[in-house]
Amino acid sequence: MTRRAGILGLVLVAIVAASAAPAAWDRLTRPLDRAVDPSLTVADRDGRALRVFLSADGAWRLPADPARVEPLYLAMLTAIEDKRFRYHPGVDPLAVGRAVGQMLANGGVVSGASTLTMQTVRLLDPQPRTLGAKAVEALRALVLEARLDKDAVLARYLTLAPFGGNLQGIRAASLAYFGREPVALTPAEAALLVAIPQAPERLRPDRHPEAARRARDRILDRTAEAGVIPAAVAAEARRDPVPDTRRAMPMRTPHLARRLAQAADSGTVEIRTTLDGDLQRRIEGMALRWAETLDPEAGLAVVVADAATGAVLAHLGAPDFFSTRRSGQVDMTRAVRSPGSTLKPFLYGLAFDDGFLDPRSMVTDAPLRIAGYAPANFAPVHLGQLTVADALRLSLNVPAVAVLDRYGPDRFLRRLASADARLELPHAGDRAGLAVILGGVGTSLEDLVSLYTALAGDGRVRPLTVRAGGPTGEASRPLLSPGAAWEIARILEGTPHPTHSARRRGGPVAWKTGTSYGFRDAWAVGVGNGLAVGVWVGRPDGTPRPGHFGARSAAPLLFELFEILPTTRSLAAAPPSGGGSPPSAHPLPPALAYFPPRPDTPTADPVRIAYPRDGSEIERPSDRPIALQARGGRRPLVWLVDGRPLPAPPHRRDAAWQPDGLGFATVTVIDADGLTAQARFRVR
In whole angstroms, give the CA distance from residue 88 to residue 153.
13
In whole angstroms, give the CA distance from residue 425 to residue 442.
6
Nearest to 64 by CA among 86, 85, 38: 38
- Please, what sign has the CA dihedral across residues 240, 245, 250, 251? negative
Strand partners, 640: 645, 668
Neighbour-count burial of 26, counting CB atoms closer than 10 A to its CB (0-12 exposed, 13-18 middle, 19+ buried)? exposed
Contact present, 264 and 271 (Cβ < 8 Å): yes
The type of residue at 483 is G
The type of residue at 509 is V
Nearest to 352 by CA among 443, 454, 281: 454
Cα distances from 442 to residues 333, 349, 436, in angstroms, run 13, 20, 9
CB atoms near residue 199 (< 10 Å): 15
Strand partners, 515: 522
Alpha-carbon dihedral 196, 200, 206, 209, rounded to 10 degrees: -60
* 338 assigned to active site: no
Nearest to 461 by CA among 399, 512, 417, 520: 417
Nearest to 563 by CA among 490, 510, 494, 507: 507
In whole angstroms, give the CA distance from residue 51 to residue 253.
7
Using N-to-C axis directions, what is the helix angle for 344-354 and 482-493, rounded to 10°? 140
DSSP reduced 3-state for 111:
coil
Name residues whose C-beta falls within 8 Å of residue 672's C-beta, 6 or more positions apart in sequence.
430, 431, 433, 633, 634, 635, 636, 637
In whole angstroms, give the CA distance from residue 571 to residue 225.
59
- Please, what sign has the CA dihedral across residues 480, 482, 485, 491? negative
Omega before residue 587 within 30° of 0, cis: no
Catalytic residue among 114, 174, 341, 516: 341
In whole angstroms, give the CA distance from residue 209 to residue 233.
21
Pairing of strands 167-168, 60-61: parallel
Cα distances from 476 to residues 311, 331, 450, 470, in angstroms, run 12, 25, 10, 13
Sheet holding 521-528, edge to edge: 312-316, 299-306, 531-538, 521-528, 510-515
Catalytic residue among 39, 70, 81, 584: 81
DSSP reduced 3-state for 354:
helix
Pairing of strands 638-641, 362-365: unpaired
Omega before residue 606 within 30° of 0, cis: no
CA contacts within 13 A on the Cβ side of 451: 28
* 341 assigned to active site: yes
Neighbour-count burial of 150, counting CB atoms closer than 10 A to its CB (0-12 exposed, 13-18 middle, 19+ buried)? middle
Name residues whose C-beta falls within 8 Å of residue 344's C-beta, 6 or more positions apart in sequence.
392, 395, 400, 437, 512
Active site residues: 81, 341
